[in-house]
Amino acid sequence: MKTIIVGGGIMGLCAAWALRRLGAEVTLIEQASLPNPLGSSVDQHRLIRYPYGAARGYARMVHAAYDSWERLWRDLGVTLYVETGTLVLSGPGDDWAAQSRTMLAAEGIQHESLDAAALAARFPLLDGAGIAEAFQCEHGGILRAEAIIGSLKHHLLDRGLRLLSRMRVDAVDAEAGAVRLMDGRRLQADQVLVAAGPWTAALLPDLAEMARPSRQVAVYLAPPPDLAVAWYHAPMLLDIGQQTGFYAVPPRVSGDGMRLGLKISDHRFGPTGDPGAPFAGERQARPDEIEAILAPARQRLVRFDEYRVVEARTCFYDVAPEERFQFRRLGPRGAVFCGSSGHGFKFASCLGEAMALALTGQADFAAVADWIGGALLTPMDQPALGVFGGINALPASASDSSA
């Protein structure tokens, strides 16, 4: 089977990985260099964690994600994950933490509720004033995003991936399974998968509501020197409210000596913008945007005025209604994944496996699409989905021979 993937971010690369493991020929087309410095997947880290508010389908999907990342680490020969654990907070009137705690209990996922005294004793970095609820999970951590992108690229090239970088796709013909390139060439395949992230709407205007570009800002900080050790032992922090809030990624040193910085950002969606305009101000964080990220952290972290801003970065999410990932048929020989909505990276490897099974006809497309969209499937649904059989049954060194 011949496949074309449009987009070399984490979703396109993970789909390519899964398709190669199933024996498919894969051509991946990336409009820039790979890794793309403007890509949403390119930063020091992304997070994986079980707390998910009331989104029980995605919380349950984290199990599949951890299993799938382990398969990827075996294939890459390196683990690009750092465990931190997860600390969830909320202020009065915000119910995201309470919804998460209820859902974790229903799913049997380990967590420990913390009262004000326990929180203060365990995490002296925090100002406990105004915290209405807190709990901690043992699991959760940092996926080394940029390192994963680079390692996947080289792994796939070693296993026969055809990569066309710095090449834009001008049109997709989902009826014929073809794409037209910027240089006028037409490439043909059995299936075409569009995984263009925030560039999806520019290529497929009918999906503009499913993949709205949203400009986001993240800030890297240096804590006061005497708090550095405490931060290196801190869990990731999720303080997600209805009106405000932030998340903090603790600094770590990875197994290969790479230093990962202290990063804070939020999960509010920014204004629509142009992800392909690096010189039009879209890629430079303004002082007011940086301050908007810092403001909620000032309320939670002690001595915050002693923290120093090291760097501010921007990226673009592609946002779907209700933050539900979209996997859709474009035609008999085409499909699209979009709507990562800022929380897709953690699932990329298992989403890639699921999409590969659907595209090769080894799993029911509609069942895969429902699962990717956050549906809470039962064990009776799993054979149709295929994710918990199919590719999971392949050995780590699955054949790369073309089918």
pLDDT value of residue 242: 61
pLDDT value of residue 394: 37
Using DSSP, state whether 196 is helix, strand or coil. Answer: coil
Residue 101 in any domain: the answer is yes
Residue 399 in any domain: the answer is no
> Treating both helix axes as pointing N-terminal to C-terminal, what angle do 145-158 and 56-76 enclose, rounded to 10 degrees?
50
Q: Confirm if 51 and 137 have CB atoms less than 8 A apart.
A: yes
Residue 167 in any domain: the answer is yes
CATH at residue 238: 3.50.50.60
What are the two backbone dihedrals, phi and then psi, of residue 150, each rounded to the nearest 5 degrees? Answer: -65, -40
pLDDT value of residue 393: 38
Residue type, 141: G
Residue 206 in any domain: the answer is yes
Task: State the Cα angle at 153 between 368 and 36, rounded to 5°.
Answer: 90
Instruction: Tell me the C-alpha distance between 29 and 196, whole Å.
Output: 10
Residue 402 in any domain: the answer is no
Q: How many domains does the chain divide into?
A: 1
CA distances from 244 to 91, 304, 373 (A): 10, 17, 26
pLDDT value of residue 173: 97
Domain that holds residue 34: 2-393
> Treating both helix axes as pointing N-terminal to C-terminal, what angle do 10-21 and 348-359 enclose, rounded to 10 degrees?
50
pLDDT digits (tens, 9 = 90+) for 326-342: 999 999 999 999 999 98
Q: Confirm if 196 and 276 have CB atoms less than 8 A apart.
A: no
Residue 401 in any domain: the answer is no
**Structure tokens belonging to residue 294:** 């810092």
What are the two backbone dihedrals, phi and then psi, of residue 70, each rounded to the nearest 5 degrees? Answer: -65, -40
Which residues of the chain fall short of a pLDDT of 50? Answer: 279-280, 380, 388-403
Beta-strand (E) ranges in 68-131? 81-83, 86-90, 112-113
pLDDT value of residue 47: 96
